[in-house]
Chains A and B, each alone.
Chain A
Amino acid sequence: MSESLLEVRDLSKHFHVGGGIGRPSGTVRAVDGVSFTIRRGETLGLVGESGCGKTTTGRCIMLLERPSGGSILFDGVDLAALDAAQLRDMRRRVQVIFQDPYASLNPRMTVGQIIAEPLAVHGLVKDKSKRGGRVRELLEQVGLLPQHAERYPHQLSGGQRQRVGIARALAMEPALIVCDEPVSALDVSIQAQIINLLEDLQQRLGLTYLFIAHDLSVVRHISDRVVVMYLGKVVEIADREALYAEPLHPYSRALLSAVPIPDPKLEARREHIVLRGEVPSPLNPPSGCVFHPRCPMAEPRCSAQIPLSREIKPGHWAACHLV
């Protein structure tokens, strides 16, 4: 078994937009040449602001989007080469936890039915009478009570709903779980409960996570390594401690500096890098380095040449001409 569970190589996903009557058409480069690997049993954080392509990357891995270019290897097998039966098995092994647990649970099904349905569909528990037992086991694993199986999603709190979403993912005995902003819709006092639960489950069941989020403090807490994306491209990859102690890419630095810290004294003397302008449209990305129009360090070559991702220190990659 190789060390990496998932390998993303030069992944691209382009969407065609417009082209209506009298409208110009264009191509949105949502994901553009993204590469990274996820090691077995680790949590890889994927951060960036809205529109940076982190969710689209996740959807390609979940087989919900067909990549426009590049490849995704799961356990060494190219996802594009799978036949229908293999694809079905792959969908079981890669599960997802969504941001909004309310929108992702069927309001007409009880919690028990929601968790039991995929067990039946994938034939994991063929004996109907045994499904109830498995459902109870899963509810217990995520910190819910057996009687929650009878409830409907609207009878649960946000935190409980997210636990149901996690139980449904675990039911498939997956190898990889893509967590797409799993705590950002929850109250602050509930977020820590769900994060601790995800960490416990990882240790107990040997899960691998791709953790997509915009909250950098949460990502630092849960991830072993972190990928920073900007406008469809990876700008930096590093171990958690290296990235947060010494971010190399100017965008990572600005992003970290923008996170307010709950300590007024510290905030008063902290240096804040406030970026100019806004994220440009991925319909018409800037030439050269996509970050150059907002970069405080930009030089002429930044608008001319696309910077390649280089290994600046062992395991620490950055795509910037100036580091």
Chain B
Amino acid sequence: MRAVDGVSWDIEEGETVALVGESGCGKSVSALSIMRLLPEVAARVDGGRILFKGRDLLALSEPEMQHVRGREIAMVFQEPMTSLNPVLSVGRQLTEGLEIHLRMAPDAAHARAVELLGMVGIADPERRLRQYPHHFSGGMRQRLMIAMALACNPSLILADEPTTALDVTIQAQILELMRELSRKLGVALLIITHNLGVVARYADRVNVMYAGRIIERARARELYASPRHPYTRGLLRSVPRLDEPRRARLDPIDGQPPDLARLPQGCAFAPRCAWRAPRCGDAVPPLNAPVAGHLTACWEDERVAARG
């Protein structure tokens, strides 16, 4: 099964890029492979390169990779409770990375931990550091995850559905915090999400994934103003929106996402696509840029674009 197939994307210093797609489209797998966190027995990265500041992460030895992981590239996961250790105090979890990666003395690490909690808006840090993850609410745990990610001053943070488990008002707080910190500290942020609204509010550039491939990429404003791929168009049209008058009926995409183990030949979206033509079933369309800076993988792109 190819969970991710021929995916390329890039992110610049201090930039916020989004990877959007539905469950099983390969967006999380593509992030985990950057960190080389996929279980080796079950998964294999058998092709491609991951260049980080000019170095190929796939060619690094495991000790070298450990140096990158957490220190230069950090991750924030969807469910903070399962990514925190329930039997270690919050303070220990924060200082561990500092002592290992930055070889800080315990006192200095503690001082840095206090500073980090302040940075992510957790009040009374001294007391909080003595507590355990179950003392924290969902929003607070996600703040803690962000503090841990920031601990070693990484240049890139991979955030996998960072706010999906949170309530709307807390989601707004966390996203606002991440944006502010990434601006202030110049950290590049990759947000992996299925929520098109979150992307619109926070991303500079957007990659849309479907069935293990990137099918469209553009600057966020461009993508939302004139989506080119039929899947992106369908996705944007299928969600009810608060800024528009209510429509009598929603406009869903027919069918369902394909099983990655049994992908159809040709374009994976073809069975659900209203623009399907005979050649769509023959070969996978390449990611082309009909407009500078706006890439799309669709054989019928010209016909789709002409309809506006």
User: Is residue B243 contacting chain A, with contact meaning CB distance below 8 A?
Assistant: yes
Please determine whether B243 and A189 come into contact, CB atoms closer than 8 angstroms: no
Interface window among B66-74, B151-159, B168-176: B168-176
Bound state CA distance, A240 and B240, in angstroms?
Answer: 14
Residues of the A chain whose Cβ atoms lie less than 8 Å from the Cβ of B238: 188-189, 191-192
Minimum distance in angstroms from A186 CB to a CB of chain B: 9
Interface residues of B in 235-285 (CB under 8 A from A): 235-236, 238-243, 246-247, 249-254, 256-257
Contact A278 B241 (CB under 8 A): no
Q: Which residue of A lies closest to B219 (CB)?
A: A264
Of B176, B197, B247, most buried by chain A (CB within 10 Å of CB) is B197
B82 contacts the other chain (CB 8 A): no
Q: For B242, list chain A residues within 8 Å (CB).
A: 216-217, 220, 244, 256, 259, 261
The number of residue pairs between A and B whose CB atoms lie closer than 8 Å in the complex comes to: 127
Whether B200 and A192, one on each chain, are in contact in the complex, defined by CB atoms closer than 8 angstroms, is no
B223 to chain A: closest residue by CB: A264
Return chain B residues, CB-CB under 8 Å to A266: 200, 243
Give the Cβ gap from B259 to chain A, nearest Cβ, in Å: 9
Is A267 in the interface zone, CB < 8 Å from B? yes
Contact status A260-B200, CB under 8 Å:
yes
Give the residue of A157, A199, A264 whose beta carbon is less than 8 angstroms from that of B224: A264
How far does the alpha carbon of A189 sit from the alpha carbon of B235 in the complex, in Å? 6
Q: Report A217-274 residues with CB < 8 Å from chain B CB.
A: 217-218, 220-221, 240-241, 244, 254-267, 272, 274
Shortest CB distance A45–B (Å): 12
- Inter-chain contacts of A259 with B (CB < 8 A): 168, 197, 242
Asked if B167 and A192 sit within 8 Å, CB to CB, the answer is no
Cβ contact within 8 Å between A261 and B139: no
Contact A188 B235 (CB under 8 A): yes
Question: In the complex, are the beta carbons of B170 and A278 less than 8 A apart?
Answer: yes
Q: Mark A183-222, 1 if CB is under 8 A from B, else 0.
A: 0000111111101100100000000000000101110110
In this complex, which of B137, B170, B203 has the most chain A Cβ atoms within 10 angstroms of its Cβ? B170
Known: A189-B22, A264-B201. A217 touches B172 (CB 8 A): no
Nearest residue in A to B176 (C-beta to C-beta)? A274
Smallest Cβ-Cβ distance to A219: which chain B residue: B240
Identify which of A188, A258, A274 contacts B194 (C-beta below 8 A): A188
A255-B172 Cα distance, complex, nearest whole Å: 10
The CA of A218 and the CA of B240, in the complex, are separated in Å by: 6
Question: Are B246's CB and A258's CB within 8 A?
Answer: no
Measured CB to CB, the closest approach of chain B to A168, in angstroms, equals 20
Q: Closest approach, in angstroms, between the C-beta of B256 and any C-beta of chain A?
A: 5
CB-CB nearest 3 A-B residue pairs: A260-B197, A192-B252, A221-B240
